Structure 1
Amino acid sequence: EATSVAKGNSEFANKLGEKIASDKVTAIDDGSIPNAWGSVNIDDEGVPTEKNILIENGILKGYMVDKFNGRRMAMHPTGNSRRQSYKYAPTSRMTNTYIAAGDDENDAIISSMDYGLYAKQMGGGSVNPVTGEFNFAVLEGYIVRNGQIDTPVRGATLIGKGSDVLLKIDMVGKKLDMSAGMCGSVSGAVPVNVGQPMIRVSQITVGGRE
């Protein structure tokens, strides 16, 4: 989001045109998807929403830009200026944000794993936008052994840095799943969609408890 990028408070600031992810990763924010939870016809500055390519085949192509920060960054607004109500000043926010579907079958992703964690359902967590460090709880997860889903696990947490994980994605599934929610920030809470297909990350830190 340009709100963070313009201030240098993002690990992806000043990296347009650089490789920040695996070649298999294309990420999109699209507020124009018909009837989607995060969609709006125009943003809160009167700019029409659009399909905004953020990452294309691993290369950083764009940001989510509002008018104010667009002027600071010499970039065109992308229809991402949003606010909860008139009580808040609008600023750059996500709409429907997702990793695009890839070429791999889900079964092939699982069968390719000698040993790993299948995180079937994710829970809450936190992200530091400046450093990209994150932690997210795994609500439903299973150990994978020799390409087979095996023992269920509980209390697992995925820990890492966004830029590192993006570079370690080596398989991307064909089926895109979206999840609706509310995103809170300085301009209030707004409806958003987030989504991705099944992905395989070659290496990630997994924490947990007994």
Structure 2
Amino acid sequence: MIDQDVLERVLAAAVRTGADFAEVFAEDKRSTSVGLDDGRVEQVTSGRDRGAGIRVVKGDTTGFAHTADLSEAGLRAAAEAAAAAASQGGGGARTVALTRGAERVVSPVSQYPDDVRKADKVALLLRMNDAARGAGASIVQVSAGYGDSRKHILVANTDGVFVTDQQVRTLIRVTAVADGDAGMQTGSQSAGQTIGFELFDQVDVEDLARDAARMAITKLDARPAPSGALPVVIKQGSGGVLFHEACGHGLEADIIAKGGSVYRGKKGELVASPLVTLVDDGTMRGEWGAIAYDDEGHASQYNVLIENGVLTEYMWDYLRARNDGRPQSGNGRRQSYQHLPMVRMTNTYVLNGTEEPDDIVRATDYGVYVAKLGGGSVNTASGDFVFGMTEAYLIENGEITAP
């Protein structure tokens, strides 16, 4: 994407005014999206976005500039703008020598989505539409979407880091609407991984659509949800959004540093049941948050955040880890080259326990069984959170009963 000698000269120019640190982050992203509604293809779009962001740090001040011009002149101009924002004097020459990092492949790709015809992507959505509508006469509307992206990133900095990574993601989703005597209900399903079009060798899109329709039809007969304090049993694999929002964000070092987390100052303390071990793992092959390197050039890692209920570690970006003397955790993430990095999760989940799921249900006299969580929100400072349930059932006398 950018030659090594060009990067070295640009970084040297960025720190010429006396900055402590400079970094180039470049990306080249190609993407496709397809949308279908009521059996009609509403949109098919493809795009490409490429450019570089340059960060310069002096003391506690950070300057940042971005450009879509990846020529040496364009990069130098952005570097000088970032340096001007960060520096007020100093100066002197500094030589920057980059060492190319080892190539890491966390999620191999066998069929790149951009090599697949758009007609084949549309065909997936049409199959989903037919499958969902065939699930029952009460299904009155189906919408579906497909998306893929292929992104190359490059990170180089004055610490000598120089790495590249390729990230390929493929996603499909479907929503079905059922109409009954009590009104309309919706069901939705999706599948997405950090792999290519081979996703559809693993995922049966028609089964996915039928499951969305089943969910909508089942909810037509749903009772009002009970109120009050009740035991809640979350289906295995369905609680990711809960732990992501309620725990994960509060363990990000930028929120910790601002005093906005209930977990601040609690390392080494019991913050959860001893049954809970919470992990953030960027090395999980194929999973949505899988990366070889984060957006600051540090290798993805398996990070244990809470172990047997005890808070053991936070997630870090480069600057906060450096300032606090902590090792890099591989959690520096960017929205795009136009944005500064921030601390964000990769794949955050709770390790399996020893209990059988059916035994947990049988041990519950009365409560709620959540098969699928919806969106939610959390106050990271207090730990209070609210979540919706998109598919849930009563537990009565140790059995899952009515929706």
Following superposition, the deviation at residue 93 of structure 1 comes to 0.5
Task: Give the equivalent residue in structure 2 for 1:91.
Answer: 342
Match of 2:322 in 1: 71
Give the equivalent residue in structure 2 for 1:58.
309
TM-score scaled by length of structure 1 = 0.70
For 1:72 and 1:5, locate their aligned partners in 2 and report how far apart those are by CA, in whole Å. Answer: 13
Runs of 4+ in 1 over 4 A off after TM superposition: none
Is contact 1:6-1:73 (8 Å) kept? Answer: no
Cα distance in 1 for partners of 2:299, 2:400 equals: 45
Aligned counterpart in structure 1 of residue 297 of structure 2, from 29, 40, 46: 46
Give structure 1 stretches of 5+ with no counterpart.
Answer: 153-210
Amino acid at match of 1:146: N
Bigger Rg over Cα: 2
Aligned-residue offset at 1:35: 2.0
Consecutive unaligned residues of structure 2, counting only runs of 5 or more, are 1-251
Q: 1:148 aligned to 2:386?
A: no
1:21 correspondence with 2:294:
no
In the other structure, the counterpart of 2:260 is 9
Separation in 2, partners of 1:51, 1:128: 26
1:58 and 1:69 map into 2 onto residues whose CA distance is 25
Partner AA of 2:310 in structure 1: I
Q: TM-score, normalised by structure 2?
A: 0.37
- Match runs of 1:102-141 below 5 Å: 102-141=353-392
C-alpha separation between the residues in 2 aligned to 1:16 and 1:144? Answer: 36
Q: Measure how far apart 1:130 and its partner are.
A: 1.4
- Contact 1:114/1:147 (CA < 8 Å) preserved in 2? yes
In structure 1, what is the equivalent of residue 53 of structure 2? none
Q: Deviations over 1:188-207 (max 9, x none)?
A: xxxxxxxxxxxxxxxxxxxx
How much does 1:92 deviate? 0.8
Q: For residue 267 of structure 2, what is the amino acid of its counterpart?
A: L
SS at match of 1:151: coil
Aligned residues: 152
**Normalized per residue, which structure has more helix?**
2
Task: Say whether residues 1:81 and 2:318 are aligned partners.
Answer: no
Q: Which has the higher strand share?
A: 1
Structure number with greater CO (CA < 8 Å, separation at least 6) is 1
Q: How many Å apart are 1:4 and its aligned residue? A: 0.3
**Counterparts of 1:23 and 1:104 in 2: how far apart (Å)?**
13
**1-structure distance, mates of 2:380, 2:323:** 19
Contact 1:41 1:48 in 2 (8 A): yes
